[in-house]
Amino acid sequence: MSDQPSGQRVLVVEDESNIASFVAMYLKKAGFGVIVARNGEEALARADSESPAIVLLDLNLPDADGIDVCRELRKSSDVPILMLTARDDDVDKIIGLEVGADDYLTKPFNPRELVARVKSILRRTVPAERELESATIAHGDVHVDHGRREVTVADVEVQLAPKEFDLLWELLDHRGLVLTRDQLLERVWGYTFAGDTRTVDVHVRQLRRKLGDSCPVVTVWGVGYKVGPEAKVAQA
């Protein structure tokens, strides 16, 4: 029995055909439709023409770096992206470069784990879009419109990556509470993101860089993060 709506398609971008067919087999068994692309160019074309629900993207492709493909996809789409990488070192690259990937898995991976991650990412993205139509939160100089996914500081729009936006929203939506890194991983990424709390710190750092002194996120040493008092610091 599958708890996925039928017809949800997964775009698998993988040049190693044995891995691609192995992954496709498990995904089909779980009730997904599967589209396979063998290089970066094909990936971008199929993502555009087939509107997949999620993209599994190998980091090492014959014609392109998966990181560049991820960035390119992000220019036109919010489709969830799960990166597949052969090396642990690449994980730092995926997190650090802020390419907009939603998650990663290191090869060799357990196909059941892969299917579980795909389901988890989809569970998180689908209802979130429906629930929060047009909620907005204003906090000092910072104004966040969830429906439009827009952030402004003193009326100037700031571009945030999808997860930066979700993290800021989660903290603002729980003003007055301290959230631990594990709680933030759970709420923003939907499950324990490979147990790696560095992800939260990297995203907080990006928020601080982009929002400057108006960034409302305060570190609570030894615990996690919270939203500080309202402040109007930006010069109009």
Choose the stretch contacting Ca ion; rule: CB under 5 A; options: 42-50, 54-62, 147-155, 203-211. 54-62
* C-alpha distance from residue 29 to each of 105, 115, 124, 186 (Å): 20, 10, 21, 27
Question: CB of 88: closest distance to Ca ion in angstroms?
Answer: 16
DSSP state of 219: E
Residue 89's Cβ-count burial label (10 Å; 0-12, 13-18, 19+) is exposed
For Ca ion, give the closer residue by CB, 62 or 96.
Answer: 62
Cβ distance to Ca ion smaller for residue 64 or 231: 64
**117: three-class secondary structure by DSSP:** helix
Q: Which helix (H) or strand (E) is 45 found in, with range?
A: helix 40-50
Question: Among residues 60 and 77, whose Cβ is nearest to Ca ion?
Answer: 60
Distance CA 224, CA 84 (A): 29
Instruction: Report if residue 141 touches Ca ion, rule: CB under 5 A.
Output: no
Q: How far is the CB of 92 from Ca ion (least distance, A)?
A: 19
Shortest Cβ 51–Ca ion spacing (Å): 24
Q: How many residues does the structure list for the chain?
A: 236
Q: Which is nearer to Ca ion, 109 or 191 (CB)?
A: 109
- Minimum CB distance to Ca ion, residue 152 (Å): 41
Cis (ω within 30 of 0) for the bond into 216? no
Binding test (CB under 5 A) with Ca ion, winner from 9, 15, 26, 42: 15
**H or E, element range at 11:** strand 9-13
Determine if 166 is a binding residue for Ca ion (CB under 5 A).
no
**Smallest Cα–Cα separation from 105: which of 125, 85, 129, 81?**
85
CB of residue 19 to Ca ion, shortest distance in Å: 8
Stretch that binds Ca ion, among 10-18, 176-184, 203-211, 226-234 (CB under 5 A): 10-18
58 binds Ca ion (CB under 5 A): yes
Q: How far is CA 57 from CA 90, 106, 158, in A?
A: 13, 12, 28
Amino acid found at 159: Q
Give the nearer residue to Ca ion in terms of CB position, either 58 or 102. 58
Comparison of 36 and 179: residue with beta carbon closer to Ca ion: 36
| Candidate residues 31, 39, 60, 174; the one interacting with Ca ion per rule CB under 5 A | 60
The nearer residue to Ca ion, 65 or 186, going by C-beta atoms, is 65
H/E stretch holding 215 reads none
Would you tell me which residues interact with Ca ion (CB under 5 A)? Answer: 15, 58, 60
